[in-house]
Every structure is written in C-alpha cells, then in structure tokens.
Amino acid sequence: MAMTQEERNERREYAKKAGWKIFAIWLVLSIIAVALILYVWGPHMPPGDMTTSAASQQFDFKVLTAMVAPVLLMVWVYGGWSLINFHATKTDRGDGIPLRGNRKVQGLWYVGSAVLVLFLAGFGTYELINGNGVGTGEGPSPIWKPTAKHMLVVQVIAQQWRFTYRWPQFGGMETTSINLPANTTVQFDVTSLDVIHDFWAYQLGVKADANPDVNNVAYTTTSSQLGRFTVRCDELCGIWHGAMYNYGHVVSKSAFYSWASNMETKNASVTKLLPPFATTYTPSYSGAGGGYYPSYDPNGHAVTY
C-alpha cells in the first residue's frame, strides 16, 4: 500500500518535533546522571581501593555504570513519552500508523549498539591485561604478570570448610589466618584439597577458584591503606559453604615481618611434619585419615620460591 507524499511529510515532521523533545529530555537527564555517577557515587563504589586490583574493579564498575545510565534513560524517556502520548482513549480505539520500519533509524541502531559493544569489549580487555588479571585467577601459568621484583607468595589452600595459608618464603609454614604487608605485590597460589571452592578477598579485589589438583594464580598490589578484609568462599562447596569465611588484615611492612617470623618460629615443629611445599596436593586416603599427609605426593608439583 503506497504512502502519499502528505502522509510521508506528516510523519517526518511529527518525528522531528517529538524526537527533538525526547532527545533534549534524555540529554539533560543523562548529563545529570553521569555526573552523579562519576563524582558523587563513584568514589564510594565497591569494592573500594585498598589494592590495585580493587581500584581497577572500581574504575571499571564506574565506567560501565556511566555508560549504562544513558542507555537506561534512553529507554525510559522514550518509553514514558510513548505511553503518555500514544495510547487509545475511550472514544478513539482505532489503529496506529502502519509503520513497518525505518531504514535510517534501524541503521543508526545497528551501528550505535555495535560501536558501544565493541568499545566495551576493548576497554575490558585493556583493563584486564593492563591490570595483570585484575585480581582474578589466571590458572597455573599466567601470562599477565606484575613486573615487581619481590613478590610475597601466599598459598591459599581451601578445603571443606576452611581456608589455610602456606608461606613458601617463610619456611613453608602454614597458618590459619592471613596478614599482608602494605605497599607490596602479592601472588596468591590458590588450590583445593577436595571440591571446588573460591577464594574471594572482597576488599583486596581478589577472586580465584580453588580447584583440586590445579594451581590458580592471582596477583594484586596492596596500597598504604591498612585494615581488615573479608575472605569468603564464593563457589558452592557443600552444606557449610555459608560458614566458610574468615578475616585478614593489611598491616604495615614491619608489623607483617615480625608477625610472619614469629609464626615461623612458633609453627616450626608442625611445619616439618607437612609435605614439602607444592603447588597442589592430593590428600591420600591412608595419609589424611587421622594422620599427616604423606611426605611424597605423586601428584603434587613441588616448587621453591
């Protein structure tokens, strides 16, 4: 059914007039929303900036929110406008205009959404690589590593339903609590003795699955902020999953070294009963049943730091 020239002009005029109004409302609201997101909410966004990886996560969250807000507003403003202006009334229950498409609008939408999405993918990739994995588990042989010369290595051993920590640079001692020094790059080697767990240190911005027989490495660098952080298991690991959490502290370097050497001496008698430090451990049926781990573990990958 062909459209007359008048109909075409009328549609164009209407779209132009209404379109500008919708655009103006959207623009004003978007500018306000983005400003609020960047400057008011932004500095308080989770997970804070206690470490480099937490700060990167916060920055990404901020950028995404600032980009998402105009998209939400576009749909809301347009939708609100349409619901107010384009509805049937008691007297008028006719049909709308038989509009089946519009090449320009559709084309603009395809290009616009593609540009937005490709930018987001590029941005995320840049942040991921530039942030050395932004605190995520990067598997046994990470390719994105921090350049720091001296890294503190902490092995996180998860099991149903607790975390223990091994410190290869402190005689391979094992502790049930975790302290970290300020202004230090930390390498977490995360593994599990039974099922899949996940080591989530919320304020540190570190999250890595603990898989049995796999070493999952994550990096972060602490800042000069001191204080407590929460460690929670973030992968369902059985009935006490909800109770699998503890707390750690970021402390000054000197406080950390005195704590660590203290623990090393205190735990020395236990440490020598442990299997040699390795990236993974396989508890043997005979060894772990009430006794200690066997000294030789065929599946363990012994390393020295």
Contact 251, 226 (CB under 8 A): yes
Query: Phi, psi at residue 82, to the nearest 5°?
Result: -65, -45
Does 36 help bind other proteins (rule: CB under 8 A)?
A: no
Shortest Å, Cβ 76 to other proteins: 8
Span of 34-42, 150-158, 199-207, 247-255 interacting with other proteins by CB under 8 A:
199-207
Long-range contacts of 13-17 (CB under 8 A, 24+ apart): none
Footprint (CB under 8 A) of other proteins, residues 81-110: 82-83, 86-88, 92-102, 105-106, 109-110
Using CB under 8 A, which of 42, 124, 171, 276 touches other proteins? 124
Contact 77, 25 (CB under 8 A): yes
Both tokens of 97, joined, read 């205009």
Does 146 help bind other proteins (rule: CB under 8 A)?
A: no
Does 248 help bind other proteins (rule: CB under 8 A)?
A: no
Long-range contacts of 146-153 (CB under 8 A, 24+ apart): 146/185, 146/219, 146/221, 148/185, 148/221, 150/184, 150/185, 151/184, 151/185, 151/186, 151/187, 151/219, 152/180, 152/181, 152/184, 152/185, 152/186, 152/187, 153/186, 153/187, 153/189, 153/305
Does 177 help bind other proteins (rule: CB under 8 A)?
A: no
Total number of residues binding other proteins (CB under 8 A)?
96
Using CB under 8 A, which of 31, 32, 75, 273 touches other proteins? 75
Does 172 help bind other proteins (rule: CB under 8 A)?
A: no
Residues in the chain: 305
Residue placing its CB nearer to other proteins in the complex, 6 or 92: 92
Does 195 help bind other proteins (rule: CB under 8 A)?
A: yes
Shortest Å, Cβ 125 to other proteins: 4
Residue placing its CB nearer to other proteins in the complex, 166 or 207: 207
Both tokens of 64, joined, read 């995404």
Span of 32-40, 68-76, 176-184, 250-258 interacting with other proteins by CB under 8 A:
68-76
Shortest Å, Cβ 224 to other proteins: 22
Q: Give the Cα separation of 31 and 301 in Å (integer).
A: 55
Footprint (CB under 8 A) of other proteins, residues 205-244: 205-209, 211-217, 230, 232-243
- What Cα–Cα distance (Å) separates residue 109 from each residue in 113, 277, 305? 6, 56, 54
Integer-rounded Cα Rg, in Å, for the chain is 28
- What Cα–Cα distance (Å) separates residue 217 from each residue in 127, 209, 280? 18, 9, 12
Both tokens of 164, joined, read 């223990």
Residue placing its CB nearer to other proteins in the complex, 82 or 295: 82
Does 270 help bind other proteins (rule: CB under 8 A)?
A: no
Using CB under 8 A, which of 128, 148, 226, 274 touches other proteins? 128
Positive or negative CA dihedral for 195, 281, 219, 267?
Answer: positive
Q: Which helix (H) or strand (E) holds 122?
A: helix 103-130
Using CB under 8 A, which of 9, 13, 14, 21 touches other proteins? 14
Shortest Å, Cβ 292 to other proteins: 18
Shortest Å, Cβ 295 to other proteins: 17
Shortest Å, Cβ 78 to other proteins: 6
